[in-house]
Amino acid sequence: MNDTSEKNCLVTGGTSGIGAAAARELAHLGNTVIISGRSAGKCARQVEKIKHSVPGAHVEFLLADLSSQKQVRQLAKEFKERYSHLDVLINNAGAIFANHLVSVDGLEMTFAVNHLSCFLLTNLLLDQLKAGRSARIVVVSSAAHTHGSIDFEDLQSEHHYERVQAYAKSKLANIYFTYALARRLEGTSVTVNALHPGSVATNLGGNNNWLKTKLRNLLKPGMLSPDEGAKTIVYLSASPDVEGVTGKYFSDCKAVRSSDDSYNKENAEKLWMLSEKLAGFVKN
């Protein structure tokens, strides 16, 4: 099923959950895997877990709090210094916040972590991706995007904030980004696809109430394990079945249709231009 030739794979949010599971499986396939996370201790422990599970695995880590654009830029800089190319970029890091919080850059935290860090990091690493061998960008979105909408007059949720809606909006932004980037990468060897991992028992939301998160994972029917939730990530990262496939949305290792709103090119382009400004690529 998988292309086992060694490649460089960068996994954001790789210290736990589906990110850690995907990193382990990609290492098992013989790839060099670089995980990113906020905590040096958690990163180091996860690297050792993967090496214990996969003897001889090539696994490293890079530190970054993705809510900070400065740290995202430093992450990209450090990657470029260590590696000449990038074959797989998995934008997996994500969060949900119970209350309206503002990042160090003055942005609503859900938007900053789930969308803008993905937008910024990917664009900063495009040259390394183009230097890779048929490189792949994988964006972890969610079926929650179907409930999302983007109010361009209140992009930072300053007038109204509700955590589920903020999360859904960020996941819709992930798909807008995926489709807009696919259009920009036409004619290159780089592909980009988004996915829904399923309802997975992870620590998402644990920053708000860890006990409630644990109970949800135990009591909600049909919750997938992180290994099960990582299957579509690994599929998009390594399977020859999707070689050259780009600009699609996947669930359960199959291309499916995303929400009608997600195909709105005008909104996608508007979000792209605003994201360029917020990420400092162009002057306001």
Residue 1 covered by a domain = no
Averaged pLDDT for residues 173-199: 97
Residue 284 covered by a domain = no
Mean pLDDT (the chain, rounded): 91
Residue 283 covered by a domain = no
Residue 41 covered by a domain = yes
- Cβ neighbours for 211, distance < 8 A, ≥ 6 positions apart: none
Residue 252 has pLDDT above 80, yes or no: yes
> Among all residues, which ones are annotated catalytic?
167
Residue 221 has pLDDT above 60, yes or no: no
Residue 3 covered by a domain = no
Residue 97 covered by a domain = yes
Residue 66 · residue 110 · CB < 8 Å: no
pLDDT at site 142: 96
- CB hemisphere CA count around 1 (13 angstroms): 11
Residue 230 · residue 198 · CB < 8 Å: no
Query: Which carries the bigger pLDDT value, residue 253 or residue 200?
Result: 253
Task: Using alpha carbons, select from 87, 280, 269, 274 the residue that is nearest to residue 183.
Answer: 269
Residue 15 · residue 42 · CB < 8 Å: yes
Q: Which domain holds residue 60?
A: 8-215+223-278
Residue 178 · residue 122 · CB < 8 Å: no
Residue 108 covered by a domain = yes
Residue 83 has pLDDT above 80, yes or no: yes
Q: What are the tens digits of pLDDT across the range 23-48? A: 999 999 999 999 999 999 999 999 99
Number of neighbouring beta carbons within 10 Å of residue 227: 15
What total number of domains does the chain contain? 1
Residue 237 · residue 88 · CB < 8 Å: yes
- CB hemisphere CA count around 76 (13 angstroms): 20
Residue 62 has pLDDT above 80, yes or no: yes
Residue 50 covered by a domain = yes
CATH number for the domain including 196?
A: 3.40.50.720
